[in-house]
Amino acid sequence: MGLISRSQTITLIHMIGFVRRIPQGDQRERMVCAECGHVAYENPKVVVGSVVVSADAVLMCRRAIEPRLGYWTLPAGYLELGETLEEGARREALEEAHADIALDGILAVFSIARIDQIQVIFRARFAGQPRIAPGPESLEVALFPWDRIPSSEHIAFPSVRWALDAWRQAGAGPLGAPIGNPADDRRGVRHMDDASEAGGL
């Protein structure tokens, strides 16, 4: 899962002809074309990923890229244009762990207001025999039973721990309504290095 703030996002609309102001009939500042009045809306990014399970062990990837290089995460990333949620989750598992997966359904949906993301996490399994290998964005990949999952100081992002906890809570049976943010971080504003996040994903 990658993290990038709104202030780090650079698009052409910020470079030529657009100014930040409140359009008529709106209540928020937007990027507006100074000539024609076109409004370029800035909306949260969608991240898709999966908790891939085999024999009660979870697939995890150790990041080969910043941010959080060297830390463990789940196979996940930004949804591409033209993709469905399901297609994006399967692609990310293939890219990051060379894993061919089948999705059981949506396990969790997290709001990460701090970095303007919505994360949709599936519960998944291998489509055939479990075969994994590091992709370009992973230093290594591994299947961890619950009691061997890396501790929180080795986890890349809070939402990784949240997803693992959601999987533990949901179990292997039929999935109910998607699990959301934990009660102590409903808006997704905490960082992984906050001392109070020791139990977070």
Reading the block at residue 147, the tokens are 């009691």
> How far, CA to CA in Å, does 19 sit from each of 16, 32, 33, 168?
9, 5, 6, 47
Pairing of strands 101-112, 57-63: unpaired
Reading the block at residue 159, the tokens are 């939402």
DSSP symbols for 43-84: -PEEEEEEEEEETTEEEEEEESSSSSTT-EE-SEEEPPTT--
Q: What is the pLDDT of residues 171-188, one digit of tens each?
A: 999 999 999 999 999 999
Q: Please count the other Cβ atoms lying within 10 Å of the Cβ belonging to residue 191.
A: 11
Q: What is the pLDDT of residues 53-111, one digit of tens each?
A: 999 999 999 999 999 999 999 999 999 999 999 999 999 999 999 999 999 999 999 99
Chain centroid to CA 124 = 15
Tell me the domains of the chain and their CATH numbers.
9-40 (2.20.70), 45-184 (3.90.79.10)
Write down the pTM of the prediction. 0.86
Largest CA distance in the chain: 60
Reading the block at residue 95, the tokens are 């890219």
